[in-house]
Chains A and B, each alone.
Chain A
Amino acid sequence: MHYDGSSCNGCDIEVLACLTPLYDVERFGVINTGNPKHADILLITGGINTQNVEIVKTIYSQMRNPKVVVAIGACALNGNIFRDCYNILGGVDSTIPVDVYVPGCAARPEAIIDGVVKALGVLEKRYEQLKKGIVPKSVREEKAS
Chain B
Amino acid sequence: MVMSLLAGGFVLLPPLIGGLIAGLDRIITARMQSRVGPPLLQPFYDLIKLFSKQNIASNRFHRHYLMCYIIFMIFSGAMFFSGRDLLLVIFAYTLADIFLVMAAFSATSPYSFIGAQRELIQLIAAEPILLITALGMNMACGSFNTAEMFKCKEVLFLDLPGVFFALVFVLTFKLRKSPFDLSTSHHGHQELVKGLTTEFAGRTLGIFELAHFYETVLLLGIIYLFFAPYWWLALLVIALTYFAELVIDNTYARAKIKLSLLWTWALTIAIGGGNLVVLYILGHVRN
Identify the A interface with B (CB < 8 A). 21, 24, 26-29, 32-35, 37-38, 40, 64-66, 127, 130-131, 135
User: Which of B26, B54, B55, B193 makes the CB contact (< 8 A) with A35?
Assistant: B193
CB distance from A137 to the nearest CB of B (A): 13
Contacts of A65 in B (CB 8 A): 53-54
Contact B189 A32 (CB under 8 A): yes
Contacts of B54 in A (CB 8 A): 64-66, 130, 135
Q: In the complex, what residue of chain B is closest to A33 when comparing beta carbons?
A: B189
List residues 112-152 of chain B with CB under 8 A from any CB of chain A: none
Contact A66 B35 (CB under 8 A): no
Q: In the complex, what residue of chain A is closest to B192 when comparing beta carbons?
A: A34
Q: In the complex, what residue of chain A is closest to B111 when comparing beta carbons?
A: A35
Contact B194 A21 (CB under 8 A): no
User: Which of A26, A29, A64, A127 makes the CB contact (< 8 A) with B35?
Assistant: A26
Contacts of A34 in B (CB 8 A): 189-190, 193-194
Q: Does B200 contact A (CB under 8 A)?
A: yes
Contacts of B270 in A (CB 8 A): none
Chain A proximity mask over B172-197: 1 for CB below 8 Å, otherwise 0:
00000000000000000110011001
Bound state CA distance, A70 and B54, in angstroms? 20
Q: Does B36 contact A (CB under 8 A)?
A: yes
> With A33-B189, A64-B56, A135-B54 known to touch, is A38 a contact of B36 (CB < 8 Å)?
no
Interface centre among A28, A32, A64, A66 (most CB of B within 10 A): A64
CB distance from B241 to the nearest CB of A (A): 25
Q: Does B110 contact A (CB under 8 A)?
A: no
Bound state CA distance, A131 and B201, in angstroms? 18
Category for how many chain B residues contact A: 20 to 34
Contacts of A40 in B (CB 8 A): 49, 53
CB distance from B112 to the nearest CB of A (A): 10
Identify the B interface with A (CB < 8 A). 26, 30, 33-39, 42, 45-46, 49, 52-56, 189-190, 193-194, 197-202, 205
Contacts of A135 in B (CB 8 A): 54
Contacts of A130 in B (CB 8 A): 52, 54
CB distance from A124 to the nearest CB of B (A): 10
Bound state CA distance, A37 and B54, in angstroms? 11
Q: In the complex, what residue of chain A is closest to B29 when comparing beta carbons?
A: A26
CB distance from A56 to the nearest CB of B (A): 17
Provide a sorted-by-A list of 18 A–B residue pairs whose CB atoms are within 8 angstroms: A24-B37, A26-B37, A27-B38, A33-B189, A33-B194, A34-B189, A34-B194, A35-B193, A35-B198, A37-B199, A38-B200, A38-B201, A38-B205, A64-B56, A64-B201, A127-B52, A130-B52, A135-B54
User: Which of B35, B42, B53 makes the CB contact (< 8 A) with A24?
Assistant: B35
Q: In the complex, what residue of chain A is closest to B200 when comparing beta carbons?
A: A37
Q: In the complex, what residue of chain A is closest to B26 when comparing beta carbons?
A: A26
Contact A29 B190 (CB under 8 A): no
Q: In the complex, what residue of chain B is closest to A37 when comparing beta carbons?
A: B201
Contact A21 B193 (CB under 8 A): no
Contacts of A35 in B (CB 8 A): 193-194, 197-198
The 4 residue pairs across chains A and B that have the minimum distance between CB atoms: A37-B201, A65-B54, A24-B35, A35-B194
Contact A27 B201 (CB under 8 A): no
Bound state CA distance, A135 and B54, in angstroms? 9
Contacts of A66 in B (CB 8 A): 53-54
Contacts of B190 in A (CB 8 A): 34
Bound state CA distance, A23 and B147, in angstroms? 49
CB distance from B244 to the nearest CB of A (A): 23
CB distance from A65 to the nearest CB of B (A): 4
Bound state CA distance, A131 and B54, in angstroms? 10
Contacts of B199 in A (CB 8 A): 37
CB distance from B277 to the nearest CB of A (A): 46
Bound state CA distance, A65 and B33, in angstroms? 32
Q: In the complex, what residue of chain A is closest to B52 when comparing beta carbons?
A: A127
